[in-house]
Amino acid sequence: MAFLHGATRTHSGPRSGIKSRSITPYLLLAPGMIWLVTFFIIPIFSLASTSTMVRPEGAQIGTYVQELRFQNYVDAFVANQEQYVRSFIYAGIATLLALAIAFPLAYTIAFKAGKYRNVLLVLVVAPFFTSFLLRTVAWTQILGDEGPILSTLKLLPFIDDSLRLTATPFAVVSGLTYNFLPFMTLPLYASLERIDPRTLEAAGDLYANGFTTFRKVTVPLAMPGVVAGTLLTFIPAAGDYVNAALLGNPSTKMIGNVIESRFFAVVDYPTAAALSFTLMATILILVTLYIRKSGTDELV
């Protein structure tokens, strides 16, 4: 029905146009809103409520009562600030690395690939054909002490035999970069591809050299893609726990690992909830500041 109204709008008088406009947006929004309320809004309240609960002394495991103890947030943060800060550092480095790798890649696909453009795009998305977890497990094999990379590196005379790749910060950041690379590449490509080649020619006509053209024309026009790509990489990377669990060691754990451990192993729901809430709030603040700063309001 909604579609019919919308379709007939232009042909009928202004009255029916106003009427259909009043219903159609709500109908279109309904599936998304119902989904959001059920799986986000309601859980968010439940999460907030759990985060201030307290376990009575001697109570059964997993039993908590509401005492509005906001100190839970302070305790949770103080006890885990190391992993908390580490998560943002790792996610930040992974985002920068992904940007450094994805920009030339997207640029090449958009401007230089010619008839191979679609093939290259499929290749960018190809990793998604296998499970995120299996890909990360594969990395433990690739980076392993007797895996192909280390075995090759150790042939070099200046590589020490005790060099390790798995269970290091390097492995965790590499895993994060790799796993979220397509999320950086695709929005960048979408932005770059839309750039009108004539703007680049115009820059040349105005005596800008290649670098200046890139800096003054290509990059500014690609900014929406950069912002979208960095957000799509940074946000999931900050909350990720799979890479740190499989590729890291005890001193590279991220906040996602702590939340998982509090929830499943310790059965300390309030701490897990408080940490999740803090993580969510921090990301929200960072993202808001970032979008304001980068001035691409159309993204908000």
Site residues for other proteins per CB under 8 A: 42-44, 46-47, 49-50, 53, 55, 57-65, 79, 83, 131, 133-134, 137-138, 140-141, 144-147, 162, 164, 166-167, 241-242, 245, 248-253, 256-269, 272-273, 276
Nearest to residue 279, comparing CAs of 257, 249, 297, 246? 257
Distances (CA, A) of 192 to 71, 105, 125, 279: 48, 11, 17, 32
Closest CB 32 distance from other proteins, rounded Å: 18
**How far is Cα 49 from Cα 269, in angstroms, rounded to an integer?**
11
Cβ distance to other proteins smaller for residue 175 or 225: 175
Cβ distance to other proteins smaller for residue 1 or 61: 61
Cβ distance to other proteins smaller for residue 58 or 114: 58
Closest CB 181 distance from other proteins, rounded Å: 20
Q: How many CA atoms lie within 13 A of 90 on its CB side?
A: 33
Cβ distance to other proteins smaller for residue 136 or 177: 136
Cβ distance to other proteins smaller for residue 33 or 133: 133
Cβ distance to other proteins smaller for residue 134 or 156: 134
Closest CB 90 distance from other proteins, rounded Å: 13
Task: Identify the burial level of 251 via C-beta atoms within 10 angstroms of its C-beta, where 0-12 means exposed, 13-18 middle and 19 or more buried.
Answer: exposed
At residue 36, the 3 state secondary structure works out as helix
Closest CB 41 distance from other proteins, rounded Å: 11
**How far is Cα 293 from Cα 290, in angstroms, rounded to an integer?**
5
**How far is Cα 60 from Cα 257, in angstroms, rounded to an integer?**
24
Cβ distance to other proteins smaller for residue 7 or 137: 137
Per DSSP, which regions of the chain are E strands?
53-54, 65-66
Closest CB 9 distance from other proteins, rounded Å: 40
- Both structure tokens of 142: 């690739």
- Both structure tokens of 88: 């943002």
**How far is Cα 273 from Cα 271, in angstroms, rounded to an integer?**
5
Closest CB 158 distance from other proteins, rounded Å: 20
Percent helix, strand and coil across the chain, each to the nearest 5: 80, 0, 20
Closest CB 84 distance from other proteins, rounded Å: 12
* Amino acid at position 104, single letter: P
